[in-house]
Chain A
Amino acid sequence: DTGVSQNPRHKITKRGQNVTFRCDPISEHNRLYWYRQTLGQGPEFLTYFQNEAQLEKSRLLSDRFSAERPKGSFSTLEIQRTEQGDSAMYLCASISSDRGIYGYTFGSGTRLTVV
């Protein structure tokens, strides 16, 4: 078990381009969360999946953002028509719902810079 893996680690993109991030959770974890963290702030909840079902989305998740978790395994987060305000660290976390907070594991994040 290598923990939660996120790719890429860094992404620089031009404003208006689309970007996609990938998260590979711990294999037996059924819940997967996406958070966004800007410089000097704590992570903010974006959305989460239980298996393949997307159960909750934050109002922070505008129409330009979409997330998927096909077959309840890895997840992708896509941002369309990126804006400079999208520059942030995007963190993925996974947990097994029957283990409570002990199992909450974060990845190292994808740092997005929109220029």
Chain B
Amino acid sequence: QKEVEQDPGPLSVPEGAIVSLNCTYSNSAFQYFMWYRQYSRKGPELLMYTYSSGNKEDGRFTAQVDKSSKYISLFIRDSQPSDSATYLCAMSEAAGNKLTFGGGTRVLVKP
């Protein structure tokens, strides 16, 4: 079983809908939780990060971490076709340390 599990999708939503993504993990030592966006044939790009449990909002993006359940979420409001990409959750035990990624969820926002 992988340390970080993520539904591969694809997740197809109409433009303007809320996109809901999540990951579960097994390593209780993870302290930093991140979401990356990856377009085809590009490297991952950091979208959001959260330290320990809690919520964080940045524009259309909201990240949530529930360490007691080992569950993290990302919500994208007012989704746009340009949000179509693969979304990767990632975690690390300390800032600047190696990242452990989920398998990624492919999202398609239809105009």
Contacts and interface: CB of A to CB of B under 8 A. Distances in A.
B111 interface: no
Contacts of B42: 108-109
Interface residues of A, number: 28
Given A107-B43, A111-B41, A45 B99 contact: yes
Contacts, number: 62
A21 interface: no
Given A40-B8, A41-B103, A108 B43 contact: yes
Nearest to A58: B98
Interface residues of B, number: 24
A39 B18 CA distance: 27
Interface of B: 4, 6, 8, 32, 34, 41-46, 49, 88, 90, 92, 95-96, 98-104
Given A91-B44, A111-B41, 5 more contacts: A42-B6, A43-B99, A96-B96, A101-B96, A109-B41
